[in-house]
Amino acid sequence: MMRKQRHVLCRHARSAGEDSTAPLAARIYCLPLPARQIISLSAHWLEVTDKAPVQHVATLDPRSIFDALSAGKAVMWQDWTLRASPPRPSADDTGAIRWTRAIWVSSSKGFRPFPRLDPESVDQAYSFIAQREARVHAQAQIEFDDEPCY
C-alpha cells in the first residue's frame, strides 16, 4: 500500500477512535461504508478472501483436470498447480460478450494462462505440462551423462 493511502487509513482510524497502529485488516472497518464495499469487492475478484479447495492427483490426465476445475477446485500434481480464474467478460467469435473462466498453469518450471475452461484448453494445458516435464527430464539426463566416471 502506498504511503499516502496508509496515512489516509490511519487518519480515518484515529477519527473513528480506533487504534491506528493496528494491522491493516483491523483498520479497514473504520473506513466509510463505500470504501469497505470497494475493498470487499476487490478482495472477492482477486480471490484474496476465498481459496479454491485443492485436489492432489497421483497421475495427470485431461479428464480429471477438467472435472476438478469445473467443480471449482485447484489441481496439484507434483510441482504443478492448475487453477480456474474468476469469471471474466470476453468476446466470442461473433463479438458477443460472454462470461468465461481461464486456466492458470504454474510451477517453478513455468507459467502459462489458457483462454477458456473447456476441454480443448485443458488438452493444451496438459500438453504444456508434458512438454515442460520432458524438457526438464531431458536436461537432467544430459547433466547425468556428462558427469565423469572415476
Write the DSSP string, 52-74: PPEEE-SS--HHHHHHHHHTT-E
70 closest CA partner among 114, 101, 104, 106: 101
Could you state, in order of their start, the residue ranges of all structural domains in the chain? 3-45, 54-146
Q: How far apart are CA 7 and CA 21, in angstroms?
A: 11
Tell if the pTM clears 0.75, that is, is over it: no
How would you write the pLDDT of the chain (150 residues) with one tens digit per residue?
A: 456 666 666 676 667 666 555 555 444 555 556 655 565 555 555 554 456 788 999 999 999 999 999 998 999 999 899 999 888 888 878 888 888 899 999 988 778 999 889 999 999 999 999 998 888 777 766 665 555 555
C-alpha–C-alpha distance, residues 87 and 5, integer Å: 29
